Amino acid sequence: MTTMLVLSTPAIVVDRDTVQVGRATIQREFVGAVTAYRKDEATAERGTRLHGLAFLCLRGWIDPVVRIEITDPADRTPYWLTSTRRPKNFWQRCPRSLREASFRIPCNKGARPSPAQSGSGV
């Protein structure tokens, strides 16, 4: 059972052309501002500030969240909101990395990429 949970844990994956959160994927050109939240701010993002059309990839036991703005005019989704134990890591690397490099951040502590998903990882 534990193995199944680890293998099914969603991840934030950024490669040369796309950004992927869980099962959702978008072209990098349509990613806007990226903001990390913790504690009360994270709670507000998941609650009172939550937009009804936002894409969510949340784990209730993980407090920090990252909000990824979607700028695609053809997409009604205003942003993606995802849990990650390392929001600061993502937030610090994201602006530069979205232009230049690839990385992967498991959304759950202890998650390991599968051989098919491994490559440039965090």
For the residues of the chain, what is the DSSP string, one character each?
Answer: -HHHHHHT--EEEE-SSEEEETTEEEEGGGEEEEEEE-HHHHHHHHTTT--TT-EEE--TT---EEEEEE--TT----EEEEE-S-HHHHHHHHHHHHHH--EEEESSTT----TTT-SS--
Q: Is the pLDDT of residue 14 over 50?
A: yes
pLDDT of amino acid 9: 75
For the chain, give the mean pLDDT: 77
Share of the chain above pLDDT 90, in %: 44
pTM exceeds 0.95 for this model: no
Residue type, 40: D
Name the burial class of residue 11, with classes exposed (0-12), middle (13-18) and buried (19+) by CB atoms within 10 angstroms of its CB.
buried
For residues 44 and 21, what is the distance between their CA atoms, to the nearest angstrom? 21
For residues 107 and 57, what is the distance between their CA atoms, to the nearest angstrom? 9
* 83 in Cβ contact with 65 (< 8 Å): yes
pLDDT of amino acid 30: 93
Share of the chain above pLDDT 70, in %: 66
101 or 56: which leads in pLDDT: 56
Name the burial class of residue 114, with classes exposed (0-12), middle (13-18) and buried (19+) by CB atoms within 10 angstroms of its CB.
exposed
48 or 8: which leads in pLDDT: 48
